[in-house]
Structure 1
Amino acid sequence: MLLFQRLSLRKESTVSKWALNAAVAILGLLLVACSSNKANTSKASAGSYSGSVYIVKRGDTLYRISRMTGSSVGELARLNGISAPYTLEIGQKIRVKGSSAKKKTAVAKTSKPRSSTSSNTSVAKVAAPPVGSRCWRWPTSGKIIEPFSSSDGGNKGIDIAGSRGQPIYASAAGTVVYVGDQLRGYGNLVMIKHSEDYITAYAHNDTTLVNNGQKVSAGQKIATMGSTGSDSVNLHFQIRYRATALDPLRYLPPQGSKPSC
Structure 2
Amino acid sequence: MFFPAHGGSLSRGLTIALLVSLLTACAQGPRRAPPVEDRSTRSPAAAANAAAGAPGAASASAPEAPKPLPGAENAGKPGYYTVKPGDTMIRIGLESGQNWRDIARWNDMENVNIIEVGQVLRVVPPAVDPTVVAAKPVASTRVEARPLDAKPGTAASAPAAGASGSAAAAPASATPAPAAAGKDDDELNWAWPAGGPVLANYDEARNKGVAIGGKAGDPVMAAADGRVVYAGSGLRGYGNLVIVKHNATYLTAYAHNQTLLVKEEQPVKRGQKIAEMGATDAERVQLHFEIRKLGKPVDPVKLLPPR
* DSSP 3-state at the match of 2:302: helix
Q: Does 1:139 align with 2:193?
A: yes
Larger relative contact order, structure 1 or 2 (CA cutoff 8 Å, min sep 6): 1
Deviations along 1:157-197, one digit per CA (max 9) or x if unpaired, are 00001100000000001000000101111000000000111
Equivalent positions of 1:44-59 (< 5 A) are none
TM-score normalised by structure 1 residue count: 0.53
Q: How many residues align?
A: 152
Radius of gyration: which is bigger? Answer: 2
Aligned to 1:247: 299
Aligned to 2:289: 237
In the aligned structure 2, how far is the partner of 1:156 from the partner of 1:3? 22
Structure 2 unaligned spans of 5+: 1-77, 82-87, 98-114, 120-130, 144-185
Equivalent positions of 1:154-193 (< 5 A) are 154-193=206-245
Percent identical among aligned pairs is 42
Query: 1:179–1:190: 8 Å Cα contact kept in structure 2?
Result: yes
Structure 1 unaligned spans of 5+: 5-20, 32-73, 79-119, 256-261
* DSSP 3-state at the match of 2:138: coil
Query: 1:3–1:26: 8 Å Cα contact kept in structure 2?
Result: no
* DSSP 3-state at the match of 1:201: strand
Query: 2:209–2:299: 8 Å Cα contact kept in structure 1?
Result: yes
Equivalent positions of 1:78-93 (< 5 A) are none
Aligned to 1:25: 92
Query: 1:145–1:160: 8 Å Cα contact kept in structure 2?
Result: yes
Letter of the 1:254 partner, please give it: P
In the aligned structure 2, how far is the partner of 1:177 from the partner of 1:216? 11
Q: Does 1:200 align with 2:252?
A: yes
* DSSP 3-state at the match of 1:76: coil
Letter of the 1:76 partner, please give it: V
Query: 2:140–2:302: 8 Å Cα contact kept in structure 1?
Result: no
* Structure 1 stretches of 4+ moved >6 Å: none
Q: Does 1:2 align with 2:79?
A: yes
Query: 2:259–2:276: 8 Å Cα contact kept in structure 1?
Result: yes
Deviation at 1:129, TM superposition (A): 4.0
Deviations along 1:63-117, one digit per CA (max 9) or x if unpaired, are xxxxxxxxxxx65256xxxxxxxxxxxxxxxxxxxxxxxxxxxxxxxxxxxxxxx
Query: 1:164–1:225: 8 Å Cα contact kept in structure 2?
Result: yes
In the aligned structure 2, how far is the partner of 1:2 from the partner of 1:192? 21
Deviation at 1:131, TM superposition (A): 2.1
Letter of the 1:174 partner, please give it: G
